[in-house]
Amino acid sequence: MSSTTGRLSAPSSKASVPHSKGPTVQVDFGGQKVDVPKDGYYDRYRMNPDLKEVARDPAVGLNIDFFTSIPKRLVNSRGGPTYAPNFYYRTSSVQLVFLAPLDRLRSKLPSPLEPITALPGYGLVVVTFYSYLVCDNDPYNEVSIAIVVRQPGQNSYSTTQLLYSMWNRIFYGYVVALPVNTDIARVRGVYGYQFPKWLANIDMGMDDHTIKADLSATDGTLDLTLEAPLPALKNITSQSSIVTNYAINKIDSEWNQVKVLTNPLLGAQCLFPKNVVLSRGKGPVSSLLSELGISTLLRMDVLKDAQMVLHMPQLLNTSDNVKL
């Protein structure tokens, strides 16, 4: 097993799993039959819950005013009619931002997307472990590997774009891997968004001192583990530091962008963090990170509590809009 810190590491111990293994019911999504928790959010609400009921859910435990100004609408999707956007009422995440050689990144990007330049010869790869504790399509975990790209339609220098993104908390990326640990998350992601999702075992948790996460194949083969000290967390005023991420990808051969809003509530940001060990096994995500050539860890963002909104894909006007 290799490690980004250059030393060997034992696999992290299993963190808490956010969803139960209780009774399930079968539902249809775009002609696909998937099992969801019986009496869970999807079973009861079909993506359109009463926010007053959500606010009373002890598992949420947070003020949900953030969602009241974002109306849900019944829209057509590749998976059939659905209420959108998708609300994530309580989440936690650990995000790692690495340098990687530009030539390696270009080899993974479809034309005309281009990686943003962070330093001469280097771009950025973002590795994120998510735990969605309460959401419209029931609890699940996810691991995202994304390349930070130049903003579609903008011809300014990479440095200018990067500074603008950091100042305004608006980022553009191309997702190259997105394993999840529930079937409805996989089906919705593949058929609704054409994201590179597959089923895997994913655990992520934080205690008072340590962050531990791991990703393995469904046959148990270890792929990726993370262990890091938990930094001092700070309360963040709701809606004061919203981050906007745009995932750029092709859906049915046409360029789209998927908007994701994150409302951080309790978290921390560490530059050049120490004692962070991301260890690679023999799975597809570890192989991908090796192919991308990730090296220096620039930043770690930890969110113990946050809320998110996932919008439906939005068609870019023409393919010319992604010219860089």
Residue closest to 259 by CA, chosen among 309, 199, 195, 206: 309
Residue count of the chain: 324
From CA 227, how far away is CA 1, in angstroms rounded?
A: 14
In this predicted structure, the answer to whether residue 187 has a pLDDT above a threshold of 80 is yes
Task: Tell me what percent of the residues of the chain surpass a pLDDT of 90.
Answer: 81
pTM: 0.91
Structure confidence by residue, pLDDT tens digits, 111-168 = 999 999 999 999 999 999 999 999 999 999 999 999 999 988 777 767 788 887 888 8
- pLDDT by residue (tens digit) across 152-176? 877 776 778 888 788 888 999 999 9
Measuring CA to CA, which residue among 91, 23, 79 is closest to residue 243? 91
Element (H, E) at 217: none
What lies within 8 Å, CB to CB, of 71 at 6+ separation is: none
Domain boundaries, the chain: 88-322
Neighbours of 155 (CB within 10 A): 9
- Which of the four CATH numbers 2.40.400.10, 2.40.30.30, 3.10.20.70, 3.40.309.10 does domain 88-322 have? 2.40.400.10
pLDDT tens-place string over residues 10-65: 233 333 334 457 899 999 887 889 999 999 999 999 999 999 999 999 999 999 99
Non-local CB neighbours of 211 within 8 Å, separated by 6+ positions: 94, 204, 205, 226, 227, 228, 229, 230, 302
